[in-house]
């Protein structure tokens, strides 16, 4: 599905990972636990062989959302990164944390008991780009772009933490 090694990490760059195997079972989960853990309406995952996953900078902090399942996130910036069902060999990677999430589109949905009816109608909502579709970007957008603290979507030699 994707070229290996696959890389990713959190928003601030304190946690970076590399995956030397394919991602499988790409899906989105609508269950209430995933909604809370993501702060979102659903969470995107794929599985990979846990031996293929290495942390190249830092490591996640874990929260057990139930006894067998722990969720890994960056304790500096809060980005959800992993879901580890300790009863299974594969580990789940949160797809929004990949450096290139577009390479791993979802193949199915789970936790559909929690799916909101209007999810299927999102494409009909009006939309615009961050910069406003060709208009001169407003000042608040310029300030966001010019003071970006987000780690770039690739590995870096040095990491300068920003608060
Ligand atoms: Zn972080
Ligand atoms: Zn879920």
3-state secondary structure 73-135: ECCCCCCEEEEEECCCCEEEEEHHHECCHHHCCCCEEECHHHCCHHHHHHHHCCCCCCCCCCC
The SS3 assignment for 54 reads strand
Ligand 1 centroid vs 127 CA: distance in angstroms? 28
In a domain, 115, yes or no: yes
Q: pTM for the complete prediction?
A: 0.91
In a domain, 157, yes or no: no
Ligand 1 centroid vs 109 CA: distance in angstroms? 27
Ligand 2 centroid vs 99 CA: distance in angstroms? 22
Instruction: Say which residue, 32 or 132, is predicted with more confidence.
Output: 32
- 107-114 mean pLDDT: 98
Q: List CB contacts of 28: < 8 A, sequence separation 6 or more.
A: 42, 43, 44, 45, 106, 109, 110
Tally of structural domains, the chain: 1
pLDDT tens per residue across span 88-108? 999 999 999 999 999 999 999
Q: Which ligand is nearest to the CA of 151?
A: 1
Instruction: Say which residue, 79 or 161, is predicted with more confidence.
Output: 79
Ligand 2 centroid vs 134 CA: distance in angstroms? 38
In a domain, 158, yes or no: no
Q: Which ligand is nearest to the CA of 109?
A: 2
Which has the closest alpha carbon to 97: 58, 144, 145, 142? 58
Q: What pLDDT, on the 0 to 100 scale, is given for residue 134? A: 73
Residue 65: Cβ within 10 Å count: 14
In a domain, 153, yes or no: no
In a domain, 99, yes or no: yes
The enclosing domain of 67 has a CATH number of 2.170.150.70
Domain residues for 13? 6-146
Q: Which residue has the tokens 């936790």?
A: 111
In a domain, 160, yes or no: no
Which has the closest alpha carbon to 45: 95, 88, 81? 95
Ligand 1 centroid vs 142 CA: distance in angstroms? 23
Q: What pLDDT, on the 0 to 100 scale, is given for residue 3? A: 66
What is the distance between the alpha carbons of residues 113 and 119, in angstroms, rounded to a whole number? 13
In a domain, 112, yes or no: yes
- What are the angstrom distances between the C-alpha of 34 and each of 15, 100, 102, 162? 21, 21, 21, 28
Ligand 2 centroid vs 83 CA: distance in angstroms? 9
Work out the mean pLDDT of the chain and round it to a whole number.
93
In a domain, 47, yes or no: yes
């Amino acid at each position: 599905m994707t070229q290996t090694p696959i890389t990713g990490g959190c928003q601030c760059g304190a946690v970076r990972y590399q995956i030397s195997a394919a991602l499988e079972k790409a899906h989105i989960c609508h269950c209430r636990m995933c909604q809370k853990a993501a702060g979102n309406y659903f969470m995107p995952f794929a599985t990979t062989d846990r031996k293929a996953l290495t942390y190249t900078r830092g490591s996640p902090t874990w929260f057990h959302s139930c006894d067998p399942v722990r969720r890994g996130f960056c304790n500096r910036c809060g980005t959800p990164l992993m879901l580890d069902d300790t009863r299974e060999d594969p580990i789940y990677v949160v797809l929004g944390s990949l450096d290139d999430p577009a390479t791993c589109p979802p193949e199915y949905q789970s936790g559909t008991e929690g799916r909101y009816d209007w999810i299927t109608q999102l494409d009909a909502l009006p939309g615009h780009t961050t910069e406003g579709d060709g208009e001169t970007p407003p000042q608040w957008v310029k300030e966001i772009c010019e003071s970006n603290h987000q780690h770039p979507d690739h590995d870096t030699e040095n990491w300068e933490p920003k608060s």
